[in-house]
Amino acid sequence: MNCPKCTGLLIQEEIQEHSGRFQGWRCIQCGLRLDQTIAQNRHDTQSDQRPAAVAGSSSGTASLLQTRTAGRHKRPARAS
């Protein structure tokens, strides 16, 4: 699976927080952490901002990540 922020490789790992341990993903390139709760919250936020017909069209974590990255482009490097 690819990172929604940098398109790097996401690896599955066990994440330990003060609330307990859970499975999630971490990008080996930029360090972004993602789990089912984060993906669901992003989906819920996007659903509130989209028309109802489009909001229900995507399902699953991979679809959420793909939707999140749609339209994003990396900035060109600055010349020194």
Helix, strand, coil share (%) of the chain residues, nearest 5? 35, 25, 40
Domain extents in the chain: 1-51
Q: What is the pLDDT along the chain (80 residues), one digit of tens a residue?
A: 899 899 999 999 998 888 888 899 999 999 999 888 888 888 888 777 766 554 444 445 555 555 454 445 566 667 76
Q: Tokens 């972004």 label which residue?
A: 32
pLDDT of residue 57: 46
Tell me the H-state helices in the chain.
36-49, 52-55, 61-69
How buried is residue 19: exposed, middle or buried, by Cβ count under 10 Å (0-12/13-18/19+)?
exposed
